[in-house]
Structure 1
Amino acid sequence: MGAAFFYHLTESPLEHTLAMLLGKADQAGWRCAVLGCSAERMIWLDQRLWLGAGDAFLAHGLAGGTYDADQPILLTTNDDFQNGASCLMSVDGADVEPEVVTAMERVCILFDGNDTDAVDKARAQWKTLTDAGCSAQYWAQDNGSWTKKAER
């Protein structure tokens, strides 16, 4: 049974935190899906991930291609994870159902702490998932480090 990890972004931009978490998921041997709400935003993230940071390289692809099933990281706007993902990264308020949390090794929900709508959406998602019996952790940035602030 998986768990949902909520990441409250206040210091680092989404693309940096996402790349860091994807790198850790890769080290754990997990195939990942990045679930977003718009194709344009997934294209933007695709470009940022290809740029990488230093020597960091994250092989990935946009959903809808011939080789979706082969992608270690698949960027998508639907929950049909063709690459057999065992880790899900939800961005931009993409909904995650409790059944998805229990089916995955880990679900990471990244949200912009400077956007009140995003914070409200994350709070609602926390309530939905924990009310359904999913384990959840809340992580916030604190002077450049991640600190676990709550667990349920």
Structure 2
Amino acid sequence: MTDILFYHLQRQPLEAVLPTLVEKSLARGWRVAIEVPDAERLTALDDHLWIWRDDSFLPHGTDQAADCADEPVLLTRQHANLNRADVRFLVDGAGIADDAGSYARIVLMFDGNDDAALARARDEWRKVRAMGFAATYWQQDEAGRWIRKG
């Protein structure tokens, strides 16, 4: 069954958290899709993943490339699983799609300092539960460790 994780971002922005989680996913041998709702954000994340750390970069591409199915990490605005990803990250309000059960893991990341993002995350939580999935909720503690809260 698909693991669905909700990551409540409060202490660090998405740009600090997402690359580390993607790197861990790749270390597990998983292919990754990152879904964003708009082209501007896709471009910003694309740029960020190349330079996120001085000693590393994340190999990735966007759904605009003809060979996007070959990418280990794919940034996309589409719900389709174009690169046969095992894990899908949903950011900036991207929601759970009907094919959620085809992934090993889905990670919905939301800004806990944004009331609208919190409301969307709560709606997605209810949707996930109505679809019959178990979901877990994660929040950072003061030391920056991710703690399962529910």
TM range, smaller chain:
over 0.9
**1:74-95 deviation line (CA, Å, top 9, x unaligned):** 0000112221111100000101
Give the TM-score of the pair, scaled to structure 2.
Answer: 0.95
Write the letter of the residue equivalent to 2:25. Answer: A
| Alpha-carbon shift at residue 64 of structure 1 (Å) | 1.4
Give every structure 1 segment of 4 or more consecutive aligned residues whose post-TM-superposition deviation is greater than 4 Å: none
Within 1, Cα distance between the matches of 2:139 and 2:99?
Answer: 23
RMSD, aligned CA: 1.0
Within 1, Cα distance between the matches of 2:130 and 2:57?
Answer: 37
| Number of positions where the alignment pairs a residue of Structure 1 with one of Structure 2 | 149
| Alpha-carbon shift at residue 135 of structure 1 (Å) | 1.6
Within 2, Cα distance between the matches of 1:21 and 1:48?
Answer: 14
Tell me the residue number matched to 1:111.
Answer: 110
Tell me the residue number matched to 2:17.
Answer: 17
Identity across matched positions, percent: 39
Q: Please, which runs of 5 or more residues in structure 2 have no aligned partner?
A: none
Within 2, Cα distance between the matches of 1:101 and 1:142?
Answer: 28
Q: Does structure 2 retain, via aligned residues, the 8 Å contact 1:101–1:134?
A: no
Tell me the residue number matched to 1:30.
Answer: 30
| Alpha-carbon shift at residue 100 of structure 1 (Å) | 2.7
Write the letter of the residue equivalent to 2:8. Answer: H
| Alpha-carbon shift at residue 62 of structure 1 (Å) | 1.1
Tell me the residue number matched to 1:4.
Answer: 4
Q: Please, which runs of 5 or more residues in structure 1 have no aligned partner?
A: none
Tell me the residue number matched to 2:119.
Answer: 120
